[in-house]
């Protein structure tokens, strides 16, 4: 697919005056991925009433975005470094970037619409050579295809919004575009997740997630592993295959764990084992699995509905590769279960206090897109598996109908993976996985052949 040509590019600001000043970020906002995360939605050609005038779709997006930013005004601001590897958010209504592009391709040229290098033309590019205070926190690209179909892609700063918050924003924006009232206002006060709020002393618990993940045996850093070429595959699991995996995982374990393993614990355990096999690890190789846990409902009381920011914490399951591949699937799933249940309010508060007391947060930040190599790396021999199974990712309608496909945008970091529900099969799942090119075919082989 040829590169797109750009027709319109504009900065969209809130339609009304909003708070002007500093919005302190919580410690959870400033660790892990602090660059932009892309997602993309594809639509069939809008109906005739959306084609006249020719700029109706773009104008609708622009006008409704302006009103959405009145409610979600932090997204119109800018980040800035304040020393010690820390950021703050300046709410200054600088705006977000909206672009319109045209492609000479047709939607059918993209096959099954899975992530591919061509996506680079469909997702707005972030110029990380600029100072961070000049970067929009949200960039949106509308692309028109020759067949009349369109794609709408968003890339949103992870330092300002995690997955639930980003989806909250784009779905409320869509409601406004459909001329409907706001469904759930965002809760913007991040003090509820800041250290010392409430001022209670928490015991210092063990937080392995803040340690650097294991290295390959014989290596002293992961710089060479970071350089290796990667590829992305979208792997489908039918409902029958998911049930088979759950039966494999739970066989002999139900009495030990209190309840059967979930889909996430089961499929993630399978991914972990397959990655160890495909990468050809030595039996004694230590490997870490990063699990992203949403703490919103785990706090006491739960965080307010619509909490806008980062409320997720990455926790770690650790094992040796030899144990993972030689023992039944339930062994891997039990490691993942223990990591997840460890995330209590006390654990989250303890982690926040731990981060507050760090002299510098840089080593906890994943700066892939900024060219850094200090932050955590979940490539070989490690893996990170994020669940989108409970997120409201489908049915994004700005007025011209729901999408025909949605998925992650470009993600090209070894070990990154997502588990999504299959919108076309009840009970089916899709795994979006990025691995080094040299390991992907072996992974696919184990991924399907190991389901018995």
How far apart CA 243 and CA 313 sit, in angstroms, is 28
Beta bridge partners of 43: 150
Instruction: Enter the tokens of residue 115.
Output: 């992530």
How far apart CA 121 and CA 212 sit, in angstroms, is 34
Confirm whether 63 is a catalytic residue: no
Instruction: Enter the tokens of residue 308.
Output: 């806008």
**What are the DSSP calls for 303-358, one per residue?**
PPTTB-S--EEEEEEEEEHHHHHHS-HHHHHHHHHHHHHT--HHHHHHHHHHHHT-
How far apart CA 233 and CA 276 sit, in angstroms, is 17
Select which of 36, 158, 281, 446 is catalytic. Answer: 158
Q: Give Cα 443 distance to the centre of its chain.
A: 22
**Does the bond joining 381 to the residue before it have cis omega, within 30 degrees of 0?**
yes
3-class secondary structure per residue, 30-52: HCEECCEEEEEEEECCCCHHHCC
The phi, psi pair for 313, rounded to 5°, reads -130, 130
The alpha-carbon radius of gyration of the chain (Å, integer) is 22
Select which of 109, 397, 412, 450 is catalytic. Answer: 397
Angle at 78 between CA 75 and CA 84, to 5 degrees: 125
How far apart CA 378 and CA 385 sit, in angstroms, is 10
How far apart CA 342 and CA 351 sit, in angstroms, is 12
| Residue 387 near residue 236, CB atoms below 8 Å | no
The phi, psi pair for 443, rounded to 5°, reads -60, -50
The phi, psi pair for 191, rounded to 5°, reads -60, -25
Confirm whether 158 is a catalytic residue: yes
Side by side, which strands form the sheet with 36-43? 5-12, 96-102, 138-144, 150-157, 36-43, 405-408
Helix ranges (H only) for 196-320 are: 223-227, 239-250, 254-257, 263-278
CB under 8 Å to 39, separation ≥6 — which residues? 153, 154, 155, 166, 393, 406, 407, 408, 409
| Residue 18 near residue 70, CB atoms below 8 Å | yes
Active site residues: 158, 397
């Amino acid at each position: 697919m040829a590169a797109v040509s750009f027709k319109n590019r504009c900065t969209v600001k809130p339609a009304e005056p909003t708070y002007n000043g500093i919005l302190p970020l919580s410690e959870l906002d400033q660790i892990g991925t602090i660059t932009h995360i892309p997602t993309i939605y594809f639509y069939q050609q809008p109906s005739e009433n959306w084609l006249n005038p020719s700029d109706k779709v773009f104008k609708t997006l622009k006008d409704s975005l302006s009103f959405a930013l009145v409610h979600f005004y932090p997204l119109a601001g800018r980040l800035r470094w304040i020393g010690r590897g820390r950021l703050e958010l300046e709410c200054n209504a600088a705006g977000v970037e909206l672009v319109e592009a045209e492609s000479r391709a047709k939607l059918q040229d993209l096959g099954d619409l899975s992530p591919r290098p061509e996506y680079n033309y469909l997702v707005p590019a972030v110029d990380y050579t600029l100072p961070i205070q000049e970067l929009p926190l949200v960039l949106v690209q509308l692309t028109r295809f020759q067949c009349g179909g369109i794609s709408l892609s968003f890339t949103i700063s992870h330092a300002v919004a995690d997955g639930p918050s980003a989806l909250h924003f784009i779905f409320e924006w869509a409601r406004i575009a459909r001329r409907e009232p706001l469904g759930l206002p965002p809760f913007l006060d991040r003090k509820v997740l800041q250290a010392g709020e409430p001022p209670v002393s928490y015991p210092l618990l063990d937080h392995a997630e803040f340690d650097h993940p294991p290295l390959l045996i014989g290596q002293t850093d992961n710089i060479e592993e970071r350089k290796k070429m990667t590829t992305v595959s979208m792997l489908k699991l039918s409902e029958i295959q998911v049930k088979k995996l759950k039966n494999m995982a739970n066989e002999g374990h139900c009495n030990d764990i209190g309840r059967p393993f979930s889909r996430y614990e089961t499929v993630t355990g399978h991914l972990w084992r397959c990655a160890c096999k495909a990468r050809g690890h030595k039996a004694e190789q230590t490997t870490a699995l990063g699990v992203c846990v949403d703490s919103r409902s785990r706090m006491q009381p739960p965080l307010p509905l619509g909490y806008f920011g980062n409320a997720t914490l990455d926790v770690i399951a650790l094992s040796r590769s030899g144990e993972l591949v030689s023992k039944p699937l339930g062994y891997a799933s039990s490691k993942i279960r223990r990591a997840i249940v460890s995330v209590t309010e006390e654990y989250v508060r303890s982690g926040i206090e731990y981060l507050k007391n760090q002299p510098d947060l840089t080593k906890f930040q994943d700066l892939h897109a900024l060219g850094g190599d200090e932050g955590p790396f979940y490539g070989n021999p490690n893996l990170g598996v994020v669940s989108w199974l409970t997120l409201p990712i489908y049915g994004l309608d700005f007025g011209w109908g729901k999408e025909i496909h949605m998925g992650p945008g470009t993600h090209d970091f070894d070990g990154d993976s997502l588990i999504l529900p299959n919108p076309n099969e009840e009970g089916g799942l899709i795994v979006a996985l990025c691995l080094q090119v040299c390991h992907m075919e072996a992974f696919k082989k184990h991924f399907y052949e190991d389901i018995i």
